[in-house]
């Protein structure tokens, strides 16, 4: 699936990743983002607006009509790829941003933090309240591998959130990490059937909650245009990716599900990004396109065999394009959500496993 690192560095896909990745030019005053040529990036928002005005489309792009409120655009070069610009109303975007931060990382759902800290309860709330994650006293002085063994054997938390005074009272004897730092280092969480990253397979024996009904219904509705009449998409698992400034998702395949005719339903939330889709090998030059908050991408059939990734997100005010989210998150009680999403992108990838 991945090949050697040396080979990957020379491929057409890697060259595209480097082209769009965020780099800085150092000046005496401050770091400045290096200018990047975006002239080849497909902009489905502009394409959709033009199509509504005069029914014209660029070469290689064609629409299909469905029960959704907006046309779905397809690429002649990538059968099974569907792009739905502005598929989610802004109110729905806000709902799933909030769920992605407050509910989806909750145990028994696993996150990238599990390997070191075990299950973390109420991470977003802890960050909002300026709490600190502290290693329990009986494990102070043990190293991470020893803590992992304890956790895996007994399945009890070895770390817990505390206020600043609780951290100070333990002095320097126990390790501690600010919850805000852990929130910013949250990279993924898993919903429904849990994915075992060490074995690259779904593990039905891991504890998990059922997928949220509302998310299942949304995925079913979005996936319908990719399926034969009468077939229904059954959401069984989801991977939620979290991106901050400078974060990327390298070229990869999503190839662990049994039936590739069923689509991956990919929902974009937050700051605008660039999505790459290539071919069956990294040697195929990928197409680049903007993905904005509320856009949905569907990948089924042959498109499931194509390398894809996210080399860039835009967090500056001019290019992030999240003014509608900022407006809805303007209440005092939503200030922590707003602060997070102003510099972040969230992607929810929903799958039918079996």
CB of 132 within 8 A of CB of 175?
Answer: no
Q: From CA 296, how far away is CA 269, in angstroms rounded?
A: 9
Q: Largest alpha-carbon pair distance within the chain?
A: 69
Structure tokens at 19: 């082209």
CB of 238 within 8 A of CB of 211?
Answer: yes
Residues in the chain: 354
CA angle 164, 169, 171 (to 5 degrees): 100
Q: Which residues make up each annotated binding site?
A: 252, 254, 308
Residue 33: exposure state from Cβ atoms within 10 A (0-12, 13-18, ≥19): middle
Q: From CA 320, how far away is CA 291, in angstroms rounded?
A: 10
CA angle 234, 215, 182 (to 5 degrees): 120
Q: From CA 90, how far away is CA 315, in angstroms rounded?
A: 18
* Cβ contacts of 15 within 8 Å, gap of 6 or more: 285
CB of 290 within 8 A of CB of 262?
Answer: no
Torsion of CA 157, 159, 162, 167, to 10 degrees: 150
Question: Hey, is 156 helix, strand or coil?
Answer: coil
Question: Hey, is 263 helix, strand or coil?
Answer: coil
Question: Hey, is 111 helix, strand or coil?
Answer: strand
Q: How far is CA 73 from CA 94, 119, 167, 225, in A?
A: 24, 40, 53, 11
Q: Which residues make up each annotated binding site for Fe cation?
A: 252, 254, 308
Q: From CA 178, how far away is CA 194, in angstroms rounded?
A: 27
């Amino acid at each position: 699936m991945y090949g050697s690192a040396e080979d990957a560095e020379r491929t057409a896909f890697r060259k595209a990743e480097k082209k769009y990745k965020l780099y800085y030019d150092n000046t005496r005053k401050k770091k400045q983002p290096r200018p990047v040529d975006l002239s080849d990036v497909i902009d489905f928002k502009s394409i959709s607006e033009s199509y509504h005005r005069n029914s014209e489309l660029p070469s290689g792009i064609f629409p299909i009509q469905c029960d959704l409120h907006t046309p779905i655009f397809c690429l002649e070069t990538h059968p099974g790829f569907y792009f739905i610009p502005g598929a989610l109303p802004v109110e729905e975007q806000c709902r799933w941003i909030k769920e992605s931060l407050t509910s989806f990382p909750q145990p028994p759902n696993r996150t990238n933090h599990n390997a070191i800290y075990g299950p973390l309860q109420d991470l977003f709330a802890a960050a909002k309240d300026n709490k600190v994650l502290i290693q329990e006293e009986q494990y102070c002085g043990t190293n991470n591998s020893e803590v992992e063994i304890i956790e895996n054997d007994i399945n009890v938390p070895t770390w817990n959130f505390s206020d600043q005074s609780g951290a100070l009272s333990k002095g320097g004897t126990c390790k501690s990490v600010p919850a805000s730092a852990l929130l910013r280092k949250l990279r993924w969480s898993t919903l429904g059937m849990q994915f075992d990253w060490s074995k690259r397979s779904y593990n039905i024996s891991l504890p998990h909650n059922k997928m949220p009904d509302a998310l299942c219904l949304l995925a079913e509705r979005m996936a319908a245009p990719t399926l034969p009449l009468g077939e229904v998409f059954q959401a069984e698992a989801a991977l939620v990716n979290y991106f901050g400034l400078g974060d990327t998702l390298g070229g990869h395949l999503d190839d662990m599900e049994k039936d590739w005719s069923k689509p991956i339903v990919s929902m974009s939330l937050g700051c605008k990004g660039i999505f790459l889709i290539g071919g069956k090998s990294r040697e195929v030059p990928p197409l680049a396109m903007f993905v904005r908050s509320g856009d949905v991408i569907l990948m089924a059939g042959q498109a499931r065999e194509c390398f894809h990734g996210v080399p860039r997100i835009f967090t500056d005010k001019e290019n992030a394009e999240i003014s509608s989210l900022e407006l809805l998150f303007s209440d005092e009680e939503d200030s922590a959500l707003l602060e997070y999403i102003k510099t972040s992108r969230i992607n929810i990838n929903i799958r039918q496993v079996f």
